[in-house]
């Protein structure tokens, strides 16, 4: 019998543009009060990643469904860096995944950075513009199929960690910024022009 091994996949944080306007009103208030939320792609089904592995959609759907229960219970913690462990250590927790959903073959998510020692390091790195990765950690076996290692049905998703070495291009997360009340939108500019015209008439 093949022994289960720790499977870790790496995804890049986004520099912008992929996941704008994902925040709820409550999350916007959290960010405007100084909190940090990151959002974007966390995993992809059906494609070979930089580690040479491929996760079939049915396997990821099952595991994301199981993981969503942890998310709802606010127990979906992750760490900064990738430990050689199948357990999330609370003393090293840096973030909490607050939402996961599917967008095509991509698993998307929102991550709240915690006010813990590791979370403060993560926040400082993001604020400094350091390019980080989001990485899944799980247990399972693989089946070699040519140049692809297909992850088997025994895969169990453990968590998502932040790491320095991404392996999957195009899988990005972004820092959600607070809304600036003094920034004019296109609608604001049109209204101002119309008001100026009416006041002159």
**Cβ(6)–Cβ(163) under 8 Å?**
no
Q: Would you say residue 62 has pLDDT above 90?
A: yes
Structure tokens at 163: 């790491």
Give me the pLDDT at residue 95, please.
Answer: 96
Q: How confident is the model at residue 85 (pLDDT cuts 50, 70, 90)?
A: confident
For the whole model, what pTM was predicted?
A: 0.77
82, 95, 136, 149: the catalytic one is: 82
Active-site residue (options: 135, 136, 149, 167): 135
10 Å CB burial of residue 73 (0-12, 13-18, 19+) is: exposed
Residue 45, pLDDT above cutoff 60: yes
- Residue 49: predicted pLDDT: 83
- Summarised one tens digit per residue, pLDDT across range 111-138 is 999 999 999 999 999 888 887 888 889 9
Which secondary structure element, helix H or strand E, spans residue 57, and what is its range?
helix 57-72
* CA–CA–CA angle 22, 8, 173 (5° rounding): 20
Quick count: other Cβ atoms within 10 Å of Cβ 195? 10
What is the tally of structural domains in the chain?
1
Contact 150, 21 (CB under 8 A): no
Range of the domain at 162: 5-200
Is residue 135 part of the annotated active site? The answer reads: yes
**95 an active-site residue?**
no
Task: Convert the pLDDT of each residue in 133-192 to its tens digit.
Answer: 888 899 999 999 899 999 999 999 999 998 876 555 444 456 665 544 433 345 544 555
Residue 21 binned pLDDT confidence (cut-offs 50, 70, 90): low
Backbone φ, ψ for residue 132 (5° rounding): -110, 170
In terms of DSSP bridges, do strands 53-54 and 148-151 run parallel, antiparallel, or are they unpaired? parallel
pLDDT above 90: percentage of residues in the chain:
41
Cα separation, 112 vs 164, in Å, equals: 18
Residue 11's CB is within 10 A of a number of other CB atoms, namely 30
- Percentage of the chain modeled with pLDDT above 70: 73
Instruction: Return d(Cα 1, Cα 19) in angstroms, integer.
Output: 42
Answer whether 161's CB lies under 8 Å from 42's CB. no
């Amino acid at each position: 019998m093949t022994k289960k091994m720790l499977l870790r996949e790496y995804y890049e944080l986004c520099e912008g543009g992929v996941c704008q306007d994902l925040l709820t009103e409550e999350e916007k208030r959290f960010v405007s009060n100084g909190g940090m939320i990151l959002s974007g792609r966390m995993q992809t089904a059906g494609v070979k990643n930089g580690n040479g592995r491929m996760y079939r959609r049915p396997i990821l759907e099952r595991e994301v469904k199981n993981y969503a229960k942890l998310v709802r219970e606010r127990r979906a913690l992750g760490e900064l860096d990738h430990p050689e462990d199948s357990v999330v250590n609370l003393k090293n927790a840096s973030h909490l995944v607050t939402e996961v959903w599917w967008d095509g073959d991509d698993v998307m998510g929102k991550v709240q950075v915690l006010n813990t020692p590791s979370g403060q390091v993560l926040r400082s790195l993001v604020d400094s513009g350091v390019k980080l990765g989001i990485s899944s950690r799980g247990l399972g076996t693989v089946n070699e199929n040519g140049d692809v290692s297909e992850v088997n049905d025994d895969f169990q998703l453990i968590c998502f960690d932040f790491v320095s070495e991404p392996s999957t291009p195009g899988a990005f997360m972004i820092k959600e910024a607070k809304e600036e009340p003094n920034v004019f939108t296109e609608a604001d500019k049109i209204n101002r022009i119309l008001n100026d015209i009416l006041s002159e008439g």
